[in-house]
């Protein structure tokens, strides 16, 4: 069986998608290839998202927002968009999910912790699901 690829997409690739990617890397290790991108990538990560993940022992500070590339979508087994209505290219045979999540941009740490915890629960379920296939 080949290693499944999961792509997380949000507009700025600076908060939600980076937190989800951080969790998936931490939970699945080398068993899943993890990508994240944005339709309009920010210049840098949301520092509050970085701080919220650091509380979990996951360092995403070195991640860089990347522009969504149709080839990344084509190469992915699962594409997860983050409640931001992204226009994502659709390819047959690719599984798509949309996670309705609040945008952590401009929010305080307490609010971002709630978003982080919701992402963690969804990623835990995703790991079990993707590795069971």
Question: Which amino acids are annotated catalytic?
Answer: 10, 84, 88
Angle at 97 between CA 96 and CA 103, to 5 degrees: 130
Instruction: From 71, 105, 113, select the one nearest 91 (Cα to Cα).
Output: 71
Instruction: From 68, 99, 58, 57, select the one nearest 82 (Cα to Cα).
Output: 99
Bridge partner residues of 79 (DSSP): 7, 96
C-beta atoms surrounding 89 within 10 Å = 13
- CA–CA distance, 64 with 92 (Å, rounded to integer): 29
Dihedral sign computed on CA atoms, order 28, 29, 34, 36: positive
């Amino acid at each position: 069986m080949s290693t499944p690829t999961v792509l997380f997409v949000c507009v700025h690739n600076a908060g939600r998608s980076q937190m989800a990617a951080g969790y998936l890397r931490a939970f699945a290790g080398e068993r899943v290839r993890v990508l994240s991108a944005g339709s309009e990538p920010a210049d840098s990560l949301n520092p509050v998202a970085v701080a919220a993940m650091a509380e979990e022992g996951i360092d995403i500070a070195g991640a860089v927002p990347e522009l969504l590339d149709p080839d990344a979508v084509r190469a992915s087994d699962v594409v997860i968009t983050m409640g931001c209505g992204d226009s994502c290219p659709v390819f047959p045979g690719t599984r798509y999910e949309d996670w309705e999540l609040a945008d952590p941009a401009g929010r305080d740490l307490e609010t971002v912790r709630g978003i982080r915890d919701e992402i963690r629960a969804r990623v835990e379920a995703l790991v079990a699901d993707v590795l069971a296939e």
